[in-house]
Amino acid sequence: MAKLSTKEGRADPFPLYAAMHELGQVAALGDSSPHAAIVHGYAAVDKVLRDPGFLVTGHEIVARKKPDWRDSPMYNTLLNSTMFANPPDHPRMRRLFHAVLTPRRVSALEPAMTGMIDRLLDRIADLGSGGSEVEFMSEFAYKFPTTVMAALLGIPEEDLDWFRPRVDTVNKALDLGNEEAKAAADVAAAELAGYYTDQIALRRARPGDDLLSALLAAMEAGEQPISDTELIGNMVVTFNAGFVTTLNMLGNGMAQLLRNPDHAHAVSTDPDCVPGYVEEILRYEPAVHLVVRWASVDSELDGVHIPAGRSMLVMLGAANRDPARFPDPGVFDPTRPTGQAISFGAGAHYCLGAVLARTEGRLALPRLLQRFPKLRLGAEPVMNAQLLLRGYAKLPVHVS
């Protein structure tokens, strides 16, 4: 476990995942560790995520070590969202989003998404003219999903530059062992909460054709009772999670495709194969590598005792490389017949934005490679040094 937190472990966790799989599905970490066990096998990860006896890090758990959590803007914002809520709050809030964030709403956005992609590609073509290097992460992988989220939620596109540093600051505080980032995250979370408070007031006065307006309409109709504080927490989490997973999927996927020209050619020329490529990108290099769960009662996983009240690291990234589930897991193979990766989780907390992320990947990757058939990597890519949300900080490319 300690090796995963090192610079080397964050840079390349996959050899450590392979070593974990030799130990079985679950490994005990001992009483001196902050976590009782590390859960890394696909079957065990799937079981934990689906078992209601294993809880997310909700306010009732945080309160044990931080009884004043409501004084922290970061905790007060995040712990009032579905991502960090357990029953009965979680199903109550999630029902609202299920009713409004539908596949039909995502499908209706597809023409707008295509237009966003083409505008960004026009800019990349200008920046890359004459052989100039273009930074893919900032010019496309970040801008596309944030623009999509802005359109979905009804956020003015001109506000997105204000969002990025605040969203990044909150996300850094969630990474494994990054306690020093929490003070800055408090400031960022307070600013984000204030922003959404203003947006809610605007939508109540002038509803639009966007997700926030639809959520408010459902709330005011009494269909799904949640508070404004919970709505704000969920808006922060929805935006953050809705773009950062796609950001990393696009960066990780593009790096993989550009290192394998045959794969890049297939994606650009065969529309039928694209969904398989998106799934394999999600498995091979997922955007989210771990989550935490807590045992509500004494439990046993694969012969490992988990005492009530202790936490476990649940390794999505390792589960996606489990040879018992995926033969030759270190091979990038978009034709795999063995089922979906577990990158979006499972059970009650399955990612609400999974359909949106897959749609963004399905639309963006082939369009990029069709527009720039000579697209290639530039200077050495730079990873972001995170394990929770693992991806590229910089991915320079040449378009011609």
Q: What is the pLDDT along the chain (400 residues), one digit of tens a residue?
A: 567 877 787 888 999 999 999 999 999 998 888 899 999 999 999 999 999 999 999 999 999 888 988 889 999 999 999 999 999 999 999 999 888 988 999 999 999 999 999 999 999 999 999 889 999 999 999 999 999 999 999 888 899 889 888 988 888 787 655 667 788 999 999 999 999 999 999 999 999 999 999 999 988 887 668 999 999 999 999 988 888 889 999 999 999 999 999 999 999 999 999 999 999 999 999 989 999 999 999 999 999 999 999 999 999 999 999 999 999 999 999 999 867 899 999 999 999 899 999 999 999 999 999 999 999 999 999 998 788 888 999 999 999 8
For the record, the structure tokens of 229 come out as 């504080």
Give the pLDDT confidence score for residue 171 in this predicted structure: 80
Burial 113-126 (b: 16+ CB within 10 A, else e): beebbeebbeebee
Give the pLDDT confidence score for residue 175 in this predicted structure: 66
Give the pLDDT confidence score for residue 400 in this predicted structure: 83
pTM of the model: 0.92
51 SS3 class: coil
Q: Which domains are delineated in the chain? A: 2-398 (1.10.630.10)
Rounded Cα distance between 332 and 335, Å, is 9
Rounded Cα distance between 9 and 17, Å, is 10
What's the chain's length in residues? 400
- Contacts of residue 164, defined as CB under 8 A and 6 or more positions apart, other chains included, come to 142, 146
Q: Give the alpha-carbon dihedral of 7, 13, 16, 18, to 10 degrees.
A: -170
Placement of tokens 């026009």 in the chain: 122
Report H helices in 22-159: 42-50, 59-65, 73-78, 89-100, 103-108, 110-127, 136, 143-153
Q: For residue 397, list its beta bridge partners.
A: 134, 377
Q: For residue 311, list its beta bridge partners.
A: 294
Sheet containing 134-135: order of strands: 134-135, 396-398, 376-377
Give the pLDDT confidence score for residue 386 in this predicted structure: 80
Q: How far apart are the first and last CA of the chain?
A: 43
Give the pLDDT confidence score for residue 388 in this predicted structure: 82
- Contacts of residue 141, defined as CB under 8 A and 6 or more positions apart, other chains included, come to 246, 247, 248, 250, 251, 254, 392, 395
Q: Let me know if 368 is exposed, middle or buried by CB neighbors in 10 A (0-12, 13-18, 19+).
A: buried
- Contacts of residue 74, defined as CB under 8 A and 6 or more positions apart, other chains included, come to 170, 173, 182, 185, 186, 188, 189
